[in-house]
Amino acid sequence: MLFVTVLGVPTAFQPQVALPLIIIFSSSTARTTAVKFLKSAKVYGVLDRVMFGSDQMVWPEAISSSINFLNAMDFLTDEEKQMILYKNAGKFLGIKE
C-alpha cells in the first residue's frame, strides 16, 4: 500500500493500481504539491503509474496551463513527461502505440 497526500488528504493506493495526480496546477499551493508528488513518485519508481487527466469544463485554459507546467519540470525527462501525459494511460487501457 502506498500512502500519498492528494489535495491535503492522506490517501492509500494499492501499488499495482494507477496513481492519480488530482491537482489543478493553476494555484501556487497546487503546483508545490504537484512537484512534491512527482518527485516522490520518481524517487519511489512509480512514475509509470501516474497519469495526467482532466474533467475540466469551466476553465478550459487550465488544461494547457497544466500541461505547460508539467513540461517545464526540469527534474523529469522528456520520456517521463510523455509517460505521464499519455503513455501510461495507453498502457493502463491496453492501447497499442
**pLDDT for res 24:** 53
**pLDDT for res 3:** 41
The number of domains in the chain is: 1
Q: Please enumerate in sequence order all residues whose Cβ is within 8 A of that of 69, keeping only pairs 6 or more positions apart, or say none.
A: 25, 31, 34
Q: Do 50 and 61 touch, CB atoms closer than 8 A?
A: no
Give the pTM: 0.72
pLDDT at 11 over 60: no
**Least-confidence region, from 27-36, 62-71, 88-97:** 27-36
- What pLDDT digit, counting tens, does each position of 61-84 carry? 777 888 888 999 999 999 999 999
**pLDDT for res 44:** 87
Whole-number Å distance between alpha carbons of 80 and 23: 18
pLDDT at 25 over 60: no
Whole-number Å distance between alpha carbons of 23 and 2: 18
More confident residue, 81 or 36: 81
Range of the domain at 51: 2-93
Whole-number Å distance between alpha carbons of 50 and 87: 10
Instruction: Identify which of 74, 13, 96, 23 has the alpha carbon closest to the alpha carbon of residue 49.
Output: 13
At position 60, the amino acid (one-letter code) is P
Instruction: Identify which of 83, 22, 84 has the alpha carbon closest to the alpha carbon of residue 55.
Output: 22
